[in-house]
Amino acid sequence: MGRKIAAIIGGGVIGGGWAARFILSGWQVRLYDPDPASRETVLATCERARQSYPALYDVMLPPEGEMSFHSDPAEAVRDAEWIQESVPERLSLKHSVYAEIQKHCPDDAIIASSTSGFKPSDLQAGTRRPGQLIVAHPYNPVYLLPVVELVPSAANSAQFSERAADILRRAGMYPALLRAEIDAHIGDRLLEAVWREALWLLHDDTATTEEIDTIITHGFGLRWAQMGLFETYRIAGGKAGMTHFIEQFGPCLKFPWTRLMDTPELDSALAAKIGRQSDRQSGRHSIDELERIRDANLVTMLRGLKQRRWGAGQHLLDVETQLNEPTTEFTAPMITIRRIIPVDWIDYNGHVNEARYLEIFSLATDAFLAAVGCDQSYVASGKSYFTLETHIRHRAEAYAGDAVLTETLCLSAMGRKLHLMHILRNSAGTELASGEHLLLHIDLKRRKSSTPDKELEAKLSHAAARHSRDMLPAWAQPILGFSS
Protein backbone atom coordinates (compact mmCIF):
# COMPACT_ATOMS: atom_id res chain seq x y z
CA MET A 1 0.00 0.00 0.00
CA GLY A 2 3.02 2.31 0.05
CA ARG A 3 4.05 4.88 2.63
CA LYS A 4 0.79 6.90 2.60
CA ILE A 5 2.66 10.16 3.16
CA ALA A 6 1.56 13.10 1.02
CA ALA A 7 3.48 16.37 0.79
CA ILE A 8 1.40 19.39 -0.23
CA ILE A 9 3.42 22.26 -1.68
CA GLY A 10 1.25 25.37 -1.63
CA GLY A 11 -1.58 25.90 0.84
CA GLY A 12 -4.08 27.96 -1.14
CA VAL A 13 -7.61 26.92 -2.10
CA ILE A 14 -6.48 23.94 -4.19
CA GLY A 15 -3.59 22.91 -1.95
CA GLY A 16 -5.86 23.03 1.08
CA GLY A 17 -8.41 20.90 -0.76
CA TRP A 18 -5.75 18.30 -1.57
CA ALA A 19 -4.65 18.29 2.08
CA ALA A 20 -8.24 17.66 3.20
CA ARG A 21 -8.76 14.91 0.60
CA PHE A 22 -5.61 13.02 1.66
CA ILE A 23 -6.06 13.48 5.40
CA LEU A 24 -9.65 12.21 5.32
CA SER A 25 -8.46 9.22 3.27
CA GLY A 26 -6.09 8.23 6.08
CA TRP A 27 -2.86 9.73 4.73
CA GLN A 28 -0.21 11.58 6.71
CA VAL A 29 0.00 15.09 5.24
CA ARG A 30 2.97 17.42 5.37
CA LEU A 31 2.26 20.93 4.14
CA TYR A 32 4.72 23.58 3.03
CA ASP A 33 3.79 27.16 2.18
CA PRO A 34 6.03 30.18 2.90
CA ASP A 35 2.96 32.29 3.70
CA PRO A 36 2.20 32.03 7.46
CA ALA A 37 -1.48 32.75 6.78
CA SER A 38 -1.80 29.51 4.80
CA ARG A 39 -1.98 27.45 7.99
CA GLU A 40 -5.27 29.03 9.02
CA THR A 41 -6.65 28.70 5.48
CA VAL A 42 -5.78 25.00 5.25
CA LEU A 43 -7.17 24.20 8.71
CA ALA A 44 -10.44 25.95 7.82
CA THR A 45 -10.66 23.97 4.57
CA CYS A 46 -10.07 20.70 6.42
CA GLU A 47 -12.79 21.55 8.93
CA ARG A 48 -15.30 22.20 6.10
CA ALA A 49 -14.26 18.92 4.49
CA ARG A 50 -14.86 17.02 7.74
CA GLN A 51 -18.45 18.25 7.67
CA SER A 52 -19.09 17.22 4.06
CA TYR A 53 -16.81 14.54 2.57
CA PRO A 54 -17.60 11.71 5.04
CA ALA A 55 -21.32 12.40 4.52
CA LEU A 56 -21.03 11.20 0.90
CA TYR A 57 -20.69 7.63 2.12
CA ASP A 58 -22.87 5.24 4.11
CA VAL A 59 -19.79 3.67 5.71
CA MET A 60 -16.99 5.13 7.80
CA LEU A 61 -13.83 6.47 6.24
CA PRO A 62 -10.47 5.18 7.50
CA PRO A 63 -9.03 6.87 10.61
CA GLU A 64 -8.04 10.43 9.78
CA GLY A 65 -4.36 11.03 9.09
CA GLU A 66 -2.22 13.59 10.85
CA MET A 67 -1.14 16.89 9.31
CA SER A 68 2.03 18.81 10.02
CA PHE A 69 3.17 22.22 8.78
CA HIS A 70 6.75 22.82 7.65
CA SER A 71 8.84 25.89 6.98
CA ASP A 72 11.36 23.89 4.94
CA PRO A 73 10.20 22.09 1.77
CA ALA A 74 12.95 19.50 2.30
CA GLU A 75 11.23 18.36 5.50
CA ALA A 76 7.85 18.18 3.80
CA VAL A 77 8.90 15.96 0.88
CA ARG A 78 11.27 13.62 2.71
CA ASP A 79 9.87 10.04 2.55
CA ALA A 80 6.73 11.25 0.74
CA GLU A 81 4.99 8.86 -1.63
CA TRP A 82 2.92 11.60 -3.29
CA ILE A 83 3.94 15.26 -3.69
CA GLN A 84 1.24 17.66 -4.88
CA GLU A 85 2.43 21.03 -6.18
CA SER A 86 -0.22 23.77 -6.12
CA VAL A 87 1.80 26.99 -6.39
CA PRO A 88 0.74 29.96 -8.58
CA GLU A 89 0.65 29.50 -12.35
CA ARG A 90 4.09 30.89 -13.17
CA LEU A 91 6.32 28.46 -15.04
CA SER A 92 9.58 29.87 -13.64
CA LEU A 93 8.24 29.52 -10.09
CA LYS A 94 7.17 25.96 -10.68
CA HIS A 95 10.57 25.05 -12.12
CA SER A 96 12.35 26.45 -9.06
CA VAL A 97 9.99 24.49 -6.79
CA TYR A 98 10.66 21.23 -8.67
CA ALA A 99 14.41 21.77 -8.44
CA GLU A 100 14.15 22.07 -4.66
CA ILE A 101 11.75 19.13 -4.34
CA GLN A 102 13.89 16.76 -6.39
CA LYS A 103 16.95 17.49 -4.28
CA HIS A 104 15.27 15.99 -1.24
CA CYS A 105 12.40 13.70 -2.24
CA PRO A 106 12.68 9.93 -2.83
CA ASP A 107 13.43 8.90 -6.40
CA ASP A 108 10.23 6.83 -6.48
CA ALA A 109 7.97 9.63 -5.22
CA ILE A 110 5.31 10.92 -7.59
CA ILE A 111 5.38 14.68 -8.10
CA ALA A 112 2.02 15.90 -9.39
CA SER A 113 1.08 19.42 -10.45
CA SER A 114 -2.37 20.94 -9.99
CA THR A 115 -1.74 23.23 -12.97
CA SER A 116 -4.83 24.12 -14.95
CA GLY A 117 -2.95 25.25 -18.05
CA PHE A 118 0.62 24.01 -18.47
CA LYS A 119 1.43 20.77 -20.26
CA PRO A 120 3.53 18.23 -18.33
CA SER A 121 6.36 18.54 -20.88
CA ASP A 122 6.49 22.29 -20.10
CA LEU A 123 6.84 21.48 -16.41
CA GLN A 124 9.35 18.67 -16.92
CA ALA A 125 11.76 20.77 -19.01
CA GLY A 126 15.10 21.08 -17.24
CA THR A 127 14.17 18.92 -14.25
CA ARG A 128 16.48 16.24 -12.82
CA ARG A 129 14.05 13.38 -13.36
CA PRO A 130 11.38 14.39 -15.93
CA GLY A 131 9.61 11.04 -15.67
CA GLN A 132 8.88 11.68 -11.98
CA LEU A 133 6.54 14.59 -12.72
CA ILE A 134 2.95 14.40 -13.98
CA VAL A 135 -0.08 16.71 -14.10
CA ALA A 136 -2.96 15.88 -11.72
CA HIS A 137 -5.47 18.69 -12.26
CA PRO A 138 -8.46 18.59 -9.85
CA TYR A 139 -11.62 20.64 -9.55
CA ASN A 140 -12.64 22.77 -6.60
CA PRO A 141 -13.56 21.65 -3.99
CA VAL A 142 -10.98 18.89 -4.29
CA TYR A 143 -12.36 17.04 -1.28
CA LEU A 144 -15.82 16.62 -2.88
CA LEU A 145 -15.44 16.53 -6.67
CA PRO A 146 -13.86 13.19 -7.58
CA VAL A 147 -12.52 13.73 -11.10
CA VAL A 148 -8.86 14.60 -11.61
CA GLU A 149 -7.28 15.02 -15.04
CA LEU A 150 -4.15 12.87 -15.01
CA VAL A 151 -1.94 14.09 -17.85
CA PRO A 152 1.33 12.32 -18.68
CA SER A 153 3.93 13.18 -21.30
CA ALA A 154 6.23 10.97 -23.33
CA ALA A 155 8.65 11.11 -20.38
CA ASN A 156 6.23 9.23 -18.13
CA SER A 157 6.12 5.45 -18.37
CA ALA A 158 2.80 3.62 -18.51
CA GLN A 159 3.63 1.95 -15.19
CA PHE A 160 4.26 5.35 -13.57
CA SER A 161 0.95 6.73 -14.81
CA GLU A 162 -0.96 3.69 -13.56
CA ARG A 163 0.70 3.91 -10.15
CA ALA A 164 -0.34 7.57 -9.97
CA ALA A 165 -3.89 6.64 -10.94
CA ASP A 166 -3.98 3.89 -8.30
CA ILE A 167 -2.90 6.29 -5.55
CA LEU A 168 -5.61 8.75 -6.58
CA ARG A 169 -8.20 5.97 -6.49
CA ARG A 170 -7.07 5.08 -2.99
CA ALA A 171 -7.82 8.69 -2.05
CA GLY A 172 -11.37 8.30 -3.38
CA MET A 173 -10.75 10.19 -6.62
CA TYR A 174 -11.63 9.33 -10.21
CA PRO A 175 -8.49 9.73 -12.35
CA ALA A 176 -9.26 10.53 -15.98
CA LEU A 177 -6.09 9.61 -17.88
CA LEU A 178 -5.77 11.91 -20.90
CA ARG A 179 -4.71 10.50 -24.23
CA ALA A 180 -2.40 13.41 -25.04
CA GLU A 181 -1.06 16.54 -23.41
CA ILE A 182 -2.62 19.81 -24.54
CA ASP A 183 -2.70 23.31 -23.08
CA ALA A 184 -5.45 23.64 -20.42
CA HIS A 185 -6.24 19.90 -20.67
CA ILE A 186 -9.93 19.08 -21.32
CA GLY A 187 -12.13 20.53 -18.59
CA ASP A 188 -10.75 24.05 -18.61
CA ARG A 189 -10.99 24.22 -22.41
CA LEU A 190 -14.71 23.50 -22.13
CA LEU A 191 -15.12 25.97 -19.29
CA GLU A 192 -13.17 28.61 -21.21
CA ALA A 193 -15.59 28.33 -24.13
CA VAL A 194 -18.59 28.96 -21.86
CA TRP A 195 -16.71 31.75 -20.04
CA ARG A 196 -15.94 33.56 -23.30
CA GLU A 197 -19.59 33.45 -24.38
CA ALA A 198 -20.69 34.66 -20.94
CA LEU A 199 -18.30 37.62 -21.09
CA TRP A 200 -19.76 38.73 -24.42
CA LEU A 201 -23.32 38.41 -23.08
CA LEU A 202 -22.32 40.65 -20.17
CA HIS A 203 -20.34 43.06 -22.33
CA ASP A 204 -23.27 43.53 -24.71
CA ASP A 205 -25.80 43.85 -21.85
CA THR A 206 -27.67 40.84 -23.22
CA ALA A 207 -27.75 39.21 -19.77
CA THR A 208 -26.60 39.77 -16.19
CA THR A 209 -24.40 37.47 -14.11
CA GLU A 210 -27.47 36.25 -12.22
CA GLU A 211 -29.47 35.54 -15.38
CA ILE A 212 -26.61 33.55 -16.89
CA ASP A 213 -26.09 31.54 -13.70
CA THR A 214 -29.83 30.88 -13.37
CA ILE A 215 -30.01 29.43 -16.89
CA ILE A 216 -27.12 27.10 -15.99
CA THR A 217 -28.36 26.05 -12.53
CA HIS A 218 -32.00 25.61 -13.60
CA GLY A 219 -31.33 24.13 -17.01
CA PHE A 220 -28.46 22.44 -18.80
CA GLY A 221 -26.23 22.42 -15.69
CA LEU A 222 -28.55 19.84 -14.16
CA ARG A 223 -28.36 17.70 -17.28
CA TRP A 224 -24.59 17.99 -17.48
CA ALA A 225 -24.23 16.98 -13.82
CA GLN A 226 -25.59 13.52 -14.49
CA MET A 227 -25.14 12.83 -18.21
CA GLY A 228 -22.49 15.15 -19.54
CA LEU A 229 -22.61 16.75 -22.99
CA PHE A 230 -22.75 14.01 -25.61
CA GLU A 231 -25.17 11.71 -23.81
CA THR A 232 -27.48 14.71 -23.24
CA TYR A 233 -27.44 15.44 -26.97
CA ARG A 234 -27.95 11.77 -27.79
CA ILE A 235 -31.28 11.92 -25.96
CA ALA A 236 -32.11 15.20 -27.71
CA GLY A 237 -31.93 13.29 -30.99
CA GLY A 238 -34.95 11.20 -30.01
CA LYS A 239 -35.14 7.48 -30.70
CA ALA A 240 -32.74 7.86 -33.62
CA GLY A 241 -30.11 9.07 -31.15
CA MET A 242 -26.95 11.01 -31.89
CA THR A 243 -27.08 10.50 -35.65
CA HIS A 244 -30.40 12.31 -35.89
CA PHE A 245 -29.26 15.04 -33.52
CA ILE A 246 -26.25 15.80 -35.72
CA GLU A 247 -28.38 15.76 -38.87
CA GLN A 248 -30.90 18.15 -37.29
CA PHE A 249 -28.64 20.55 -35.44
CA GLY A 250 -25.29 20.13 -37.20
CA PRO A 251 -26.00 22.90 -39.74
CA CYS A 252 -26.46 25.34 -36.84
CA LEU A 253 -22.70 25.26 -36.28
CA LYS A 254 -22.36 27.42 -39.38
CA PHE A 255 -24.67 30.09 -37.99
CA PRO A 256 -22.98 33.12 -36.39
CA TRP A 257 -24.40 32.33 -32.96
CA THR A 258 -21.21 32.40 -30.95
CA ARG A 259 -18.15 34.60 -30.59
CA LEU A 260 -15.82 31.89 -29.34
CA MET A 261 -12.87 33.04 -31.42
CA ASP A 262 -12.88 36.43 -29.79
CA THR A 263 -13.04 37.76 -26.25
CA PRO A 264 -14.18 41.17 -25.04
CA GLU A 265 -11.41 43.13 -23.44
CA LEU A 266 -11.62 42.74 -19.68
CA ASP A 267 -11.05 46.44 -19.10
CA SER A 268 -11.91 48.30 -15.90
CA ALA A 269 -15.44 49.08 -17.10
CA LEU A 270 -16.34 45.44 -17.82
CA ALA A 271 -14.62 44.24 -14.64
CA ALA A 272 -16.57 46.78 -12.60
CA LYS A 273 -19.85 45.73 -14.25
CA ILE A 274 -19.19 42.09 -13.43
CA GLY A 275 -18.27 43.00 -9.87
CA ARG A 276 -21.45 45.05 -9.30
CA GLN A 277 -23.72 42.39 -10.72
CA SER A 278 -21.98 39.62 -8.79
CA ASP A 279 -22.34 41.59 -5.55
CA ARG A 280 -26.07 42.05 -6.18
CA GLN A 281 -26.42 38.38 -7.00
CA SER A 282 -24.55 36.80 -4.10
CA GLY A 283 -23.41 39.62 -1.84
CA ARG A 284 -25.87 38.71 0.91
CA HIS A 285 -23.63 35.74 1.69
CA SER A 286 -19.98 35.82 2.74
CA ILE A 287 -17.49 33.65 0.87
CA ASP A 288 -17.35 31.29 3.88
CA GLU A 289 -21.14 30.95 3.79
CA LEU A 290 -21.13 30.33 0.05
CA GLU A 291 -18.51 27.60 0.45
CA ARG A 292 -20.62 25.87 3.10
CA ILE A 293 -23.74 26.20 0.94
CA ARG A 294 -21.84 24.85 -2.09
CA ASP A 295 -20.55 21.85 -0.14
CA ALA A 296 -23.98 20.97 1.29
CA ASN A 297 -25.56 21.24 -2.17
CA LEU A 298 -22.86 19.05 -3.74
CA VAL A 299 -23.21 16.40 -1.05
CA THR A 300 -26.99 16.29 -1.58
CA MET A 301 -26.69 16.01 -5.38
CA LEU A 302 -23.89 13.43 -5.24
CA ARG A 303 -25.79 11.32 -2.72
CA GLY A 304 -28.81 11.46 -5.01
CA LEU A 305 -26.70 10.23 -7.92
CA LYS A 306 -25.27 7.50 -5.68
CA GLN A 307 -28.78 6.31 -4.87
CA ARG A 308 -29.45 6.14 -8.61
CA ARG A 309 -26.10 4.38 -9.24
CA TRP A 310 -25.37 6.93 -11.96
CA GLY A 311 -22.51 9.18 -13.05
CA ALA A 312 -20.32 10.38 -10.20
CA GLY A 313 -22.67 8.53 -7.84
CA GLN A 314 -21.54 5.16 -9.24
CA HIS A 315 -17.95 6.16 -8.48
CA LEU A 316 -18.93 6.91 -4.87
CA LEU A 317 -20.48 3.45 -4.61
CA ASP A 318 -17.27 1.90 -5.93
CA VAL A 319 -15.25 3.79 -3.31
CA GLU A 320 -17.74 2.79 -0.62
CA THR A 321 -17.35 -0.87 -1.56
CA GLN A 322 -13.59 -0.58 -1.09
CA LEU A 323 -14.03 1.15 2.28
CA ASN A 324 -16.68 -1.20 3.65
CA GLU A 325 -15.56 -4.16 5.74
CA PRO A 326 -18.61 -6.41 6.08
CA THR A 327 -19.43 -7.73 9.53
CA THR A 328 -18.53 -11.42 9.78
CA GLU A 329 -17.92 -12.00 13.49
CA PHE A 330 -20.89 -12.72 15.75
CA THR A 331 -19.74 -10.36 18.47
CA ALA A 332 -22.16 -9.48 21.21
CA PRO A 333 -23.49 -7.05 20.21
CA MET A 334 -22.51 -6.91 16.52
CA ILE A 335 -21.43 -3.54 15.09
CA THR A 336 -23.39 -3.47 11.85
CA ILE A 337 -23.19 0.20 10.77
CA ARG A 338 -20.52 2.90 11.14
CA ARG A 339 -21.12 6.14 9.31
CA ILE A 340 -21.43 9.93 9.36
CA ILE A 341 -24.84 11.64 9.38
CA PRO A 342 -25.22 13.51 6.03
CA VAL A 343 -26.71 16.97 5.73
CA ASP A 344 -29.71 15.79 3.70
CA TRP A 345 -30.94 13.76 6.71
CA ILE A 346 -31.62 16.95 8.69
CA ASP A 347 -35.15 18.34 9.00
CA TYR A 348 -36.52 21.79 9.79
CA ASN A 349 -35.83 21.26 13.51
CA GLY A 350 -32.10 20.97 12.85
CA HIS A 351 -31.75 17.30 13.73
CA VAL A 352 -32.14 13.95 11.96
CA ASN A 353 -35.59 13.39 10.48
CA GLU A 354 -37.48 10.47 12.04
CA ALA A 355 -37.71 8.58 8.75
CA ARG A 356 -33.92 8.31 8.64
CA TYR A 357 -33.86 6.22 11.82
CA LEU A 358 -35.88 3.57 9.99
CA GLU A 359 -33.43 3.84 7.08
CA ILE A 360 -30.34 3.31 9.21
CA PHE A 361 -31.96 0.42 11.11
CA SER A 362 -32.99 -1.13 7.79
CA LEU A 363 -29.37 -0.92 6.64
CA ALA A 364 -28.27 -2.48 9.93
CA THR A 365 -30.68 -5.37 9.37
CA ASP A 366 -29.28 -5.84 5.86
CA ALA A 367 -25.71 -5.87 7.26
CA PHE A 368 -26.67 -8.48 9.86
CA LEU A 369 -28.41 -10.66 7.28
CA ALA A 370 -25.43 -10.45 4.92
CA ALA A 371 -23.13 -11.50 7.78
CA VAL A 372 -25.13 -14.67 8.47
CA GLY A 373 -25.38 -15.59 4.80
CA CYS A 374 -28.68 -14.06 3.70
CA ASP A 375 -26.86 -11.98 1.10
CA GLN A 376 -27.51 -11.09 -2.53
CA SER A 377 -26.70 -14.60 -3.75
CA TYR A 378 -29.12 -16.10 -1.22
CA VAL A 379 -31.86 -13.71 -2.36
CA ALA A 380 -31.06 -14.57 -5.98
CA SER A 381 -31.73 -18.21 -5.12
CA GLY A 382 -35.33 -17.27 -4.34
CA LYS A 383 -35.39 -16.78 -0.55
CA SER A 384 -35.23 -13.77 1.73
CA TYR A 385 -36.52 -12.14 4.91
CA PHE A 386 -39.43 -9.68 4.99
CA THR A 387 -40.04 -7.28 7.87
CA LEU A 388 -43.38 -7.85 9.62
CA GLU A 389 -43.22 -5.26 12.37
CA THR A 390 -40.93 -2.44 13.49
CA HIS A 391 -40.81 -0.43 16.72
CA ILE A 392 -38.55 2.62 16.96
CA ARG A 393 -37.90 4.60 20.13
CA HIS A 394 -36.09 7.94 20.08
CA ARG A 395 -33.78 8.76 22.98
CA ALA A 396 -31.60 11.74 21.93
CA GLU A 397 -31.00 14.03 18.97
CA ALA A 398 -28.52 13.37 16.17
CA TYR A 399 -27.05 16.08 13.94
CA ALA A 400 -25.28 16.45 10.59
CA GLY A 401 -21.65 15.38 10.85
CA ASP A 402 -22.19 13.09 13.85
CA ALA A 403 -20.30 9.80 13.75
CA VAL A 404 -22.75 7.03 14.65
CA LEU A 405 -22.85 3.24 14.89
CA THR A 406 -25.48 0.58 15.37
CA GLU A 407 -25.15 -2.31 17.80
CA THR A 408 -27.25 -5.25 16.69
CA LEU A 409 -28.55 -8.14 18.83
CA CYS A 410 -30.24 -11.26 17.51
CA LEU A 411 -32.78 -11.82 20.28
CA SER A 412 -34.15 -15.00 18.78
CA ALA A 413 -34.09 -17.03 15.57
CA MET A 414 -36.70 -19.75 15.75
CA GLY A 415 -38.02 -21.39 12.62
CA ARG A 416 -39.33 -18.82 10.20
CA LYS A 417 -39.15 -15.85 12.60
CA LEU A 418 -36.18 -13.59 13.29
CA HIS A 419 -36.19 -11.02 16.11
CA LEU A 420 -33.56 -8.25 16.01
CA MET A 421 -32.84 -5.17 18.13
CA HIS A 422 -30.59 -2.30 16.99
CA ILE A 423 -29.20 0.42 19.26
CA LEU A 424 -27.97 3.62 17.60
CA ARG A 425 -25.16 5.45 19.39
CA ASN A 426 -23.00 8.50 18.65
CA SER A 427 -19.23 8.70 19.11
CA ALA A 428 -19.68 9.72 22.77
CA GLY A 429 -21.61 6.50 23.41
CA THR A 430 -24.94 8.28 23.85
CA GLU A 431 -27.91 6.05 23.01
CA LEU A 432 -29.82 7.92 20.30
CA ALA A 433 -32.53 5.42 19.38
CA SER A 434 -33.51 1.78 19.27
CA GLY A 435 -35.10 -0.21 16.50
CA GLU A 436 -36.82 -3.53 17.14
CA HIS A 437 -37.70 -5.68 14.13
CA LEU A 438 -39.61 -8.90 13.60
CA LEU A 439 -38.82 -10.58 10.29
CA LEU A 440 -40.26 -13.61 8.51
CA HIS A 441 -38.41 -15.91 6.11
CA ILE A 442 -40.09 -15.94 2.68
CA ASP A 443 -40.02 -18.17 -0.38
CA LEU A 444 -39.87 -15.47 -3.08
CA LYS A 445 -41.27 -17.70 -5.81
CA ARG A 446 -44.36 -18.70 -3.81
CA ARG A 447 -44.48 -15.40 -1.88
CA LYS A 448 -45.20 -17.40 1.26
CA SER A 449 -43.33 -18.01 4.49
CA SER A 450 -40.82 -20.85 4.59
CA THR A 451 -38.02 -22.20 6.74
CA PRO A 452 -34.49 -20.90 6.01
CA ASP A 453 -31.80 -23.10 4.53
CA LYS A 454 -30.06 -25.27 7.10
CA GLU A 455 -26.72 -23.41 6.76
CA LEU A 456 -28.40 -20.05 7.31
CA GLU A 457 -30.47 -21.47 10.17
CA ALA A 458 -27.30 -22.72 11.87
CA LYS A 459 -25.61 -19.32 11.63
CA LEU A 460 -28.68 -17.57 12.99
CA SER A 461 -28.83 -20.01 15.90
CA HIS A 462 -25.16 -19.38 16.58
CA ALA A 463 -25.73 -15.60 16.60
CA ALA A 464 -28.77 -15.91 18.87
CA ALA A 465 -26.79 -18.09 21.29
CA ARG A 466 -24.08 -15.41 21.53
CA HIS A 467 -26.59 -12.62 22.09
CA SER A 468 -28.92 -12.01 25.02
CA ARG A 469 -31.65 -9.61 26.04
CA ASP A 470 -29.55 -8.90 29.11
CA MET A 471 -27.12 -7.09 26.80
CA LEU A 472 -29.76 -4.47 26.01
CA PRO A 473 -29.67 -1.14 27.85
CA ALA A 474 -31.92 -1.17 30.90
CA TRP A 475 -34.37 1.24 29.26
CA ALA A 476 -34.81 -1.04 26.25
CA GLN A 477 -35.57 -4.33 28.04
CA PRO A 478 -39.12 -3.56 29.24
CA ILE A 479 -40.28 -2.01 25.95
CA LEU A 480 -39.85 -4.93 23.58
CA GLY A 481 -42.81 -4.53 21.29
CA PHE A 482 -43.48 -8.20 20.61
CA SER A 483 -42.40 -11.62 21.79
CA SER A 484 -40.69 -14.22 19.74
How do residues 336-348 score in pLDDT, each as one tens digit?
999 999 988 999 9
Determine the pLDDT at residue 229.
Answer: 85
Higher pLDDT, 279 or 161: 161
Measure CA 401 to chain center: 14
| pLDDT tens-digit map of 228-282 | 888 888 888 888 888 877 788 778 767 777 777 777 787 888 888 888 888 888 8
Which residues, 6 or more positions from 221, have their beta carbon under 8 angstroms from its beta carbon? none
**Count of CA atoms in the C-beta half-sphere (13 A) of 42:** 28
> Residue 458: what residue type?
A
Q: What pLDDT digit, counting tens, does each position of 372-401 carry? A: 999 999 999 999 999 999 999 999 999 999
Strand 67-70 versus strand 28-32 pairing type = parallel
The CA-atom distances, in angstroms, between 170 and each of 1, 139, 142, 271, 297 are 9, 17, 14, 42, 25
Q: What is the model's pLDDT at position 482?
A: 54
Residues in the chain: 484
Average pLDDT value for the chain: 91
pTM for this entry: 0.85
What is the predicted pLDDT for the residue at 479?
53
pLDDT category of residue 476 using cuts at 50, 70 and 90: low
Query: What integer is the mean pLDDT of 452-481?
Result: 79
pLDDT, tens only, 298-338 = 999 999 999 899 999 999 999 998 888 777 677 778 999 99
Asked if 231 and 220 touch (Cβ cutoff 8 Å), the reply is no
Band (295; pLDDT cuts 50, 70, 90): very high
Q: Which of 294, 372, 406 is nearest to 60 (CA)?
A: 406
Nearest CA to 260 out of 212, 201, 181 is that of 201
Confidence of residue 359 (pLDDT cuts 50, 70, 90): very high
Average of per-residue pLDDT across 426-450:
95
Reported confidence tier of residue 481, pLDDT bands at 50, 70, 90: low
Residue 437 and residue 456 in contact, taking contact as beta carbons nearer than 8 Å: no
pLDDT of 484: 44
Tell me the pLDDT tens digit for each residue of 72-120: 999 999 999 999 999 999 999 999 999 999 999 999 999 999 999 999 9
Instruction: Please state whether beta strands 403-414 and 431-443 pair in parallel, antiparallel, or not at all (unpaired).
Output: unpaired
- Phi and psi angles of residue 56, each rounded to the nearest 5 degrees, phi first: -70, -25
